[in-house]
Amino acid sequence: MSCRVKVNMGWSDFSLMWTKKTSYAEAIMLPADKIWTPGLALDNAIDATSKPYTDDVVVTSFGSVSHAVILLIAVSCDIKLFTYPFVSGQCLVAINGWKNGDCGIVLFYPRTVTTSGGTLSGEWMTENVEIAKEDDMENRKYLLVTLSINPFSAVVTLILPSALIMLADLVSFSLPIQGGERNNLKVTLMLSLTMFILILNDRLPSGGECTPLLHYHFCFCLVNLVLSMVTSLVLTHLLTSDSFMASTCLKRIRRQNAQLDQNEDAGMKKQSSGSAKASLQKIVNFLENVEQKEQVANSKEAFVNYLDKFCFCFFCFLTSFTLSLLLLSQEQTCAKLKRYISGIMSLIP
């Protein structure tokens, strides 16, 4: 977290006191680099830059000095992103006086802190800033910054598209297996989800102790789409080619045709006068073979349609079950989602 902190300091320097015998002025301006100013220590800062707010300080006749400095601080925050984008956490900014043994500067913090600006980087927002202190050291205090993420951007650009892609994959089962329209749609959906995974990797860190749950969600969606596409290809292959279920019937029909051809050839040799009857019998056998082939094709189509309905029910159950686990895995996520939805509904007239 990078922040800009303006520290208004006040202290008493008895060496700068004067009386009315010296001057009737109640306050004067002195250069900040000509007098002593307290040094600040940033205990947990990764990078820090300090510069005076003004080049002058105000000194009163009682020796009270008023001075302000600007601190540009970058600190490391350990915030768990498991429930991204419904994430909130706290970050510490320890501003204290330098101390070396028993010698040092003790800072007395005010009771309140004034904040200006709430957006840190894109979707991060500052909810609250308060002053806290360590239990074991009374004089060591720090700024406790509460951060949160605005989930609207992640919901619109990541969660909602992935849910719509999974819904479109389930709807694609209504398309006919023949023709390849279903397979083309599933390939397009898989490529679209891959694009959203790349966007997710750009927005979230890939490593860390706590991997965001949204990574697992997109991984499941990708595996689900691949399985759905492979299932659709297998069903198309079973419908358009001779499958192992119909091979036995086809072999039986071929054997019957061969036996009938042999019988017809033998009858033609023995009885030349019955050629008309043999021709008629051949036509009848041909029609029976066509009918048997149609029955085999219809049974194969019915079997494929049954498998298609079973796969549709299976993927519906799998998608619903996984999305339910995604929402119910963290009570905090559900509570924040309900608050966010209620906040949106309250804005609707």
Taking the alpha carbons at both ends of the chain, their separation in whole angstroms is 37
Q: What is the pLDDT of residue 201?
A: 80
Alpha-carbon span 36 to 58, nearest angstrom? 13
- Kindly report which listed range (75-79, 138-142, 185-189, 226-230) carries the lowest average pLDDT score: 138-142
Q: Would you state the structure tokens that stand for residue 224, as one six-digit string?
A: 């689900």
Query: Region 129-145: what's the mean pLDDT?
Result: 75
Amino acid at 23: S
Beta bridge partners of 11: 65
| pLDDT score of 260 | 53
* 38/51 Cα distance (integer angstroms): 13
> Which pLDDT does position 321 carry in this prediction?
76
In sequence order, what DSSP letters do the residues of 244-281 get, joined into one string? HHHHHHHHHHHHHHHHHHHHHHHHHHH-GGGHHHHHHH
Q: Which residue has the higher pLDDT, 327 or 167?
A: 167
What mean pLDDT is predicted for residues 111-117? 76
- The pLDDT score that the predictor gives to residue 34 is 87
170, pLDDT greater than 60 = yes
What letter would DSSP give residue 34?
A: G
Average pLDDT, rounded, for the chain: 77
- Cis peptide bond N-terminal to 161, omega within 30: no
Quick one: pLDDT at residue 119? 56
What is the DSSP code (8-state) at residue 53? S
- Across 234-240, average pLDDT: 80
Higher pLDDT, 241 or 242: 241
State the Cα–Cα distance between residues 126 and 76, nearest whole angstrom: 15
Render pLDDT for 261-305 as a digit per residue (tens, 0 to 9).
Answer: 555 555 544 444 456 666 766 676 666 666 666 766 667 777 777
Q: How confident is the model at residue 116 (pLDDT cuts 50, 70, 90)?
A: confident
- In the chain, the amino acid numbered 261 is D
- Residue 232 and residue 308: Cα distance in Å, rounded? 8
Residue 65 has a pLDDT of: 92
Residue with tokens 């650009």: 157
The amino acid present at 70, given as its one-letter code, is: I
Q: Which long-range contacts (CB under 8 A, 24 or more apart) does 229-232 make?
A: 229/183, 229/186, 229/187, 229/190, 231/311, 232/172, 232/177, 232/182, 232/183, 232/186
Query: What pLDDT sits at residue 245?
Result: 47
For 126-135, 220-229, 272-281, which range has the lowest pLDDT when averaged over its residues? 272-281
Q: Which pLDDT score, from 0 to 100, does residue 154 have?
A: 82
Span 190-202, pLDDT tens digits: 888 888 888 888 7
| CA–CA separation, 92 and 111 (whole Å) | 17
Sequence-separated contacts (24+) of 310-318 with Cβ below 8 Å: 311/173, 311/228, 311/231, 311/235, 312/170, 312/173, 315/169, 315/170, 315/173, 315/224, 315/227, 315/228, 316/170, 318/224
Residue at 340: amino acid letter: Y
Residue in 247, 254, 281 with CA at minimum distance from that of residue 267: 281
pLDDT at 302: 76
Unique residue bearing structure tokens 């963290």: 330
pLDDT beyond 70 at 177: yes
- How much is the pLDDT for 345? 62
Query: Tokens standing for 201?
Result: 């990797």
Confidence check: pLDDT of 253 > 60: no
Name the residue with tokens 């398309």.
Answer: 175
Paired tokens of 198: 């790349």
Confidence of residue 220 (pLDDT cuts 50, 70, 90): confident
Higher pLDDT, 227 or 106: 227
Least confident of 25-39, 158-172, 287-301: 287-301
Q: 251 falls in which pLDDT band (50, 70, 90)?
A: low
Length of the chain in terms of residues written: 349
